[in-house]
Amino acid sequence: AHGSAAAANYEGAPSPLADVPMHQNINPKAPSMTEAEFQQGKQIFFERCAGCHGVLRKGATGKPLTPDITLEKGTDYLKAFITYGSPAGMPNWGTSGELTDAQVDLMARYIQQEPPQPPEFSMADMKNTWKVLIPADKRPKKKMNKINIDNLFSVTLRDAGQIALIDGDTKKIVNIIKTGYAVHISRLSKSGRYLYVIGRDARINLIDLWMEKPDNVAEIKIGLEARSVDTSKYKGFEDKLAVAGSYWPPQFVVMKGETLEPLKIVSTRGMTVDPQEYHPEPRVASIVASEFRPEWIINVKETGKIMMVDYSDLTNLKTTTIDAARFLHDGGWDSTKRYFLVAANKSNKIAVVDSKTDKLAKLVDVGAIPHPGRGANFVHPVFGPVWSTGHLGDDSIALIGTDPAGHKANAWKMVQKLTGQGGGSLFIKTHPKSHNLWVDTTLNPDAATSQSIAVYDINKMDGKKESPLKPEVLPIAQWANLGDGAKRVVQPEYNAKGDEVWFSVWSAKDKESAIVVVDDKTRKLKAVIKDPRLITPTGKFNVHNTQHDVY
Ligand code: DHE
């Protein structure tokens, strides 16, 4: 039950849609609500419920909640469900004190009304928000700063709506840049010159790392809510195009890489892989750029389809659609960058795509709700090359064989299961130069667990299917020496050389946070980066490792 509580908290983050005006659509069969109550219900729904149940309540990782279903259940049943939750993962909003009795009653009535639909976001809407702050021909012709860009880190300052660029050599902040709210990821152009960040509110900022002081050169809003962005990486298309996927509206947009000028929007609405039925809001999850073809791999959450989009001809757009499994989320490359492994999280599977043949290689069964981030690649002493993932829903760490040429019998199988500190893991990481495998447990309900890191010695891994190997546990948050309050340790990230690992100690917005740097060889504290400007640091992206997909 811990794991599902962690998952529910994770998906229960506020959606920017809470602030978008939407029309009240009164259902005559539903219990009545005033306009004010409806607006409050809408607000709570987008803050707490939409992440799992979907904007249109068609169901995603949570059950569908459309009036045809909710009217039949009735107000009393719904109130009990919202109050007490369920073992399947519905949080106990009432008994936990997160919602008052009056709010529970309001929500039970609200979900019997027709779901209000947020507006679409067209090419005209995008163009209205598009700004080129410094035109391409007015930008530097060469690198104008002395920063070792390879070892620069782009750090999300989640609740501040900013990123911090931190020099990995000096550990000093180079610049704090205003971005969208709660930047989800940072990605690099093929050359490594341009940094793209995307906020939860679907705002993209393009940052030029060649400027004397790296800063924004263009921005655009591509929808109302989003999580992913990437660029064109195939030979001949380096730095030319960018792509971003949105949660709402369910679509992706192709842009010019140097300016973010929007060129083409493609909808992801359509049929699910199983059961084959229409879904009105299939959200775009992770996106990566292929090195084998001029293609992006676009993972569509609710349909469970992987779209291999060929960007070489946007007028005659070719897309190979691969049926994987539902609720595709995050993932990363194997070490050869031929195979992409992506979590189908509520299916408890990892889908493996062969980017050379554009075919599904395998669906691999793993633990409950895999959550790899980009995963971690290493050579296992017994099983050969593997890619690994932790889980939100249980304490296991799954190692999957990734070498069909050299280790055929192990390929696309879970060859080994390690036992970690607990459920609620979000990210796992190693580096080709290291023999440490780091696993966080950010969303574990136990404070000591969520504030520490488990680290395994890869050289000591044995040949057992269920390995008894124990990790060392490092009290990262304690090392940061901050005041009281919840401090979650999240997302290990290596420096360019692969001899340091950085961790975010993520406190509340009004509390002190820090970044803790650990020496990879000795596993001892190396530095604590503190600054009043480091508000709610979460994701950290080392330029070299992100540019070259080193993980
Ligand atoms: Fe993330 C990656 C979606 C909550 C921090 N997150 C991703 C990706 C997706 C996603 C689709 C993969 C993008 C890619 O590779 O192209 N995340 C979601 C959600 O839908 C979810 C569950 C709920 C939500 O409301 O957003 C969610 N994510 C969170 C958090 O609560 C985290 C910890 C803090 C935050 O920013 O809100 C968080 N997500 C991250 C990070 C990555 C990420 C740091 C990139 C990891 C990497 O190493 O690439």
**286 Cβ below 6 A of ligand 1:** yes
Q: Using DSSP, state whether 219 is helix, strand or coil.
A: strand
Round to whole Å and give the CA distance between 119 and 223: 10
Round to whole Å and give the CA distance between 50 and 54: 5
Q: What is the mean pLDDT of the chain?
A: 95
Round to whole Å and give the CA distance between 326 and 347: 6
**373 Cβ below 6 A of ligand 1:** yes
Q: Pick the catalytic residue from 2, 33, 90, 308.
A: 90
Tokens for 215, please give them: 């800063």
Among this protein's residues, is 126 annotated catalytic? no
Instruction: Read off the pLDDT of each residue in 133-159 and give the average, rounded to a whole number.
Output: 98
Distances (CA, A) of 125 to 122, 128, 185, 221, 280: 5, 5, 23, 8, 21
DSSP state of 489: E
Distances (CA, A) of 267 to 200, 284, 299: 19, 10, 13
Task: Of 346, 343, 351, give the one whose Cα is nearest residue 375.
Answer: 343
Query: How many residues would you count in the chain?
Result: 551
Round to whole Å and give the CA distance between 201 and 222: 9
Nearest ligand 1 atom, CA 493:
48
Which pLDDT score, from 0 to 100, does residue 88 have? 76
What DSSP letter does each residue of 379-417 carry, written as one string? EETTTEEEEEE-BSSSSEEEEEE--TTT-GGGBTSEEEE
Report the half-sphere exposure of 129 (CA within 13 A, side-chain side).
Answer: 18
Tokens for 330, please give them: 């995050």
Which pLDDT score, from 0 to 100, does residue 2 have? 42
Distances (CA, A) of 539 to 50, 162, 343: 23, 12, 19
Residue 5 pLDDT grade (very low, low, confident, very high; cuts 50, 70, 90):
low
Residue 472 pLDDT grade (very low, low, confident, very high; cuts 50, 70, 90):
very high
Classify the C-alpha dihedral 131-134-138-142 as positive or negative. Answer: negative
523 pLDDT above the threshold of 90: yes
**180 Cβ below 6 A of ligand 1:** no
Q: pLDDT tens digits for 297-322?
A: 999 999 999 999 999 999 999 999 99
What DSSP letter does each residue of 117-181 carry, written as one string? PPP---HHHHHHH-EESS-GGGS-SS--S---GGGEEEEEEGGGTEEEEEETTT--EEEEEE-ST
Which pLDDT score, from 0 to 100, does residue 19 have? 83
Nearest residue (CA) to ligand 1, atom 23: 11
Which pLDDT score, from 0 to 100, does residue 346 have? 87
Which pLDDT score, from 0 to 100, does residue 478 have? 97
Round to whole Å and give the CA distance between 353 and 224: 29
**467 Cβ below 6 A of ligand 1:** no
3 pLDDT above the threshold of 60: no
Q: pLDDT tens digits for 535-548?
A: 999 999 999 999 99
Higher pLDDT, 59 or 294: 294
Helix, strand, coil share of the chain (percent; to 5): 20, 35, 45
**340 Cβ below 6 A of ligand 1:** no
Round to whole Å and give the CA distance between 503 and 509: 17
Tell me whether the omega of the peptide bond preceding residue 249 falls within 30 degrees of 0, making it cis.
yes
Nearest residue (CA) to ligand 1, atom 30: 10
Residue 20 pLDDT grade (very low, low, confident, very high; cuts 50, 70, 90):
confident
Nearest ligand 1 atom, CA 11:
23
Q: pLDDT tens digits for 170-184?
A: 999 999 999 999 999
Edge-to-edge strand list for the sheet holding 328-333 = 328-333, 339-344, 349-354, 359-365
Among this protein's residues, is 33 annotated catalytic? no
Among this protein's residues, is 279 annotated catalytic? no
Among this protein's residues, is 184 annotated catalytic? no
Round to whole Å and give the CA distance between 283 and 267: 10
Nearest residue (CA) to ligand 1, atom 1: 184
Q: pLDDT tens digits for 329-388?
A: 999 999 999 999 999 998 999 999 999 999 999 999 999 999 999 999 999 999 999 999
Round to whole Å and give the CA distance between 255 and 219: 11
Round to whole Å and give the CA distance between 495 and 431: 9
Q: pLDDT tens digits for 23-55?
A: 676 778 889 898 899 999 999 999 899 988 999
Residue 18: CB atoms within 10 Å: 14
Residue 7 pLDDT grade (very low, low, confident, very high; cuts 50, 70, 90):
low
Nearest ligand 1 atom, CA 158:
36
Q: What is the dihedral of CA 186, 493, 466, 363, to 10 degrees?
A: 20
Nearest residue (CA) to ligand 1, atom 10: 227
Question: How far, in Å, from the CA of 184 to the mean position of ligand 1?
Answer: 6
Round to whole Å and give the CA distance between 51 and 18: 12
Q: Pick the catalytic residue from 2, 107, 279, 371.
A: 371
Nearest ligand 1 atom, CA 301:
11
- The answer to whether 245 and 230 have CB atoms below 8 angstroms apart is no
306 residue type, one letter: I
Which pLDDT score, from 0 to 100, does residue 1 have? 37
Tell me the best of 330, 333, 502 to mutate to test the pocket of ligand 1, counting ligand atoms within 8 Å of each CB and taking the most: 330
Q: pLDDT tens digits for 400-412?
A: 999 999 999 999 9
Q: Pick the catalytic residue from 49, 255, 307, 461.
A: 49
Buried b (16+ CB within 10 A) or exposed e, 342-377: bbbbbbbbbbbbbbeebeebbebebbbbbbbbbbbb
Q: pLDDT tens digits for 258-285?
A: 999 999 999 999 999 999 999 999 999 9
Percent of the chain at pLDDT exceeding 70 = 98
**297 Cβ below 6 A of ligand 1:** no
